[in-house]
Amino acid sequence: MNGLIKDLGLLINATLIATPPLLLAALGSCFSERCGVVNIGIEGMMTIGAFTGAVMGLTTGNGWIAFLCAGLAGALFGLIHAFVCISCHADQTIAGTAINFLGPGLALFLCKAMYNNSSDTPAMDPSCKLPKLFEGVFPTGSFWNNVLNVYAVAYLVFILAFVCWFVFYKTKFGAHLRAVGEHPEACESLGIDVYKVRYTCVILSGFFAGLGGAFVTLATINQFRPSVIVGQGFIAIAAVIFGKFSPEGATKACLLFGLCSGIKSLAAQSNVVSPNLISMIPYVVTIIALVLFVGKAHTPAANGKIFVKSK
């Protein structure tokens, strides 16, 4: 029984480590996809966020300021994506791919320029990072320590997910953003400024992706390396599609991914099962869940289509 409770605590702990960066990026992706702009540049925006978070943590010594700056850096990349896709009518997939090259490339370039040609930022002191809840309250290794003594942001993201859900379904802006993603021409005829709504959403998607990246460098570990965000942006996009383009669906999908990473760690303590099979757990579980429990996802009708404002 004790062993079970301990394992449960570890699973929750693992979920609270793996889920937040994915969920933040996925919430951002929801905004972008639902308003009709495909954003596969999430990965690049996360990398820029991770880098900015590490640099600002080192320079300001305040985790919250660094976290916010990382969001703003991501938002700047969101703005670039928005300008290229919305104002310049570029192909959204290609623009997103460009962001995925630009983000990691720029992060590496700036890192080398700022830190003596090194591809990693120096490691941060724990005091520069985001704060943890209940630090030192529970004994190390206890159930409550594993469940409650985690980074405050790890719980905050779930509140944020709820706020996103509220914005999507309970506010005028939410109704506009959903409508704009389905039928922008109709929205325009009703006097909704399609460009404005889409700009806001795409910038928000960059902001959230930047926060997601910064969680890795300001909470999970304590420095930036080019290899810290590999594939997480794409997993976040997959979670959004899996969650039918809704914040609540994406939250469930990211939780499932996070939980599986915990199971993976518990299962990797011997060679009884091939490590390659264990690494497949999150993906296999997702496919099974997709087939059994999730019906057909409705892609926003205008997603990825170029919309030109009538004069």
Partner 1 sequence: MRKKVMAAVLTAAMVASVSAMPQMVAAADDEFKIGLITDVGGVNDGSFNQSAWEGLEKAGEELGVEVNYLESATDADYQPNMETFVDEDYDLIISVGYMLADATREAAEANPDTKFAIIDDSSIDLPNVTSLMFKAEQASYLVGYVAGLTTKTNNIGFVVGMTNETMNQFGYGYCAGAIDANPDITVQQFNANSFADSATGKTMANTAITNGADIVFQAAGATGLGVIEACQEAGVYAIGVDSDQSSIAPKTVLTSAMKRVDNAVYDAVQELIDDKLEGGVQTFDLAAGGVDIAPSQDLISDDVIKAVDEVKEKIISGDVVIPDNKDDFEAKYGDVYVLD
Number of residues that bind partner 1 (CB under 8 A): 43
Per-residue contact string for residues 17-36; x = within reach of partner 1 by CB under 8 A: xx--x---------------
Residues between 278 and 307 that touch partner 1 (CB under 8 A): 278-279
Q: Are 194 and 188 in contact (CB under 8 A)?
A: yes
User: For residue 285, what are the β-bridge partners?
Assistant: none
Residues 222 to 281 in contact with partner 1, rule: CB under 8 A: 222-223, 225, 227-228, 230, 261-262, 264-266, 268-271, 275-276, 278-279
The full 3-state SS of 130-188, as one line of letters, equals CCECCCCCCCCCCHHHHHHCCEHHHHHHHHHHHHHHHHHHHCHHHHHHHHHHHCHHHHH
The answer to whether 285 touches 303, Cβ cutoff 8 Å, is no
Closest residue by Cα to residue 34 from 130, 156, 232, 175: 175
For the bound state, the minimum distance from the C-beta of residue 183 to partner 1, rounded and expressed in Å, comes to 40
Q: Looking at 65, 88, 94, 123, which residue binds partner 1 (CB under 8 A)?
A: 123
9, 71, 212, 300: which one contacts partner 1 (CB under 8 A)?
A: 9
* 122 is a contact residue toward partner 1 (CB under 8 A): yes
Would you count residue 13 as binding partner 1 (CB under 8 A)?
yes
CA distance 290 to 203: 30
Give the x-and-dash track for 81-120 against partner 1 (CB under 8 A).
-------------------------------x---xxxxx
Which is nearer to partner 1, 276 or 310 (by Cβ)?
A: 276
Whether 119 contacts 112, CB under 8 Å? yes
Amino acid letter, 195: Y
Rounded distance, CA 207 to CA 181, Å? 20
Interface positions with partner 1 (CB under 8 A): 6, 9-10, 13-14, 17-18, 21, 112, 116-120, 122-123, 126, 132, 140-141, 146, 216, 220-223, 225, 227-228, 230, 261-262, 264-266, 268-271, 275-276, 278-279
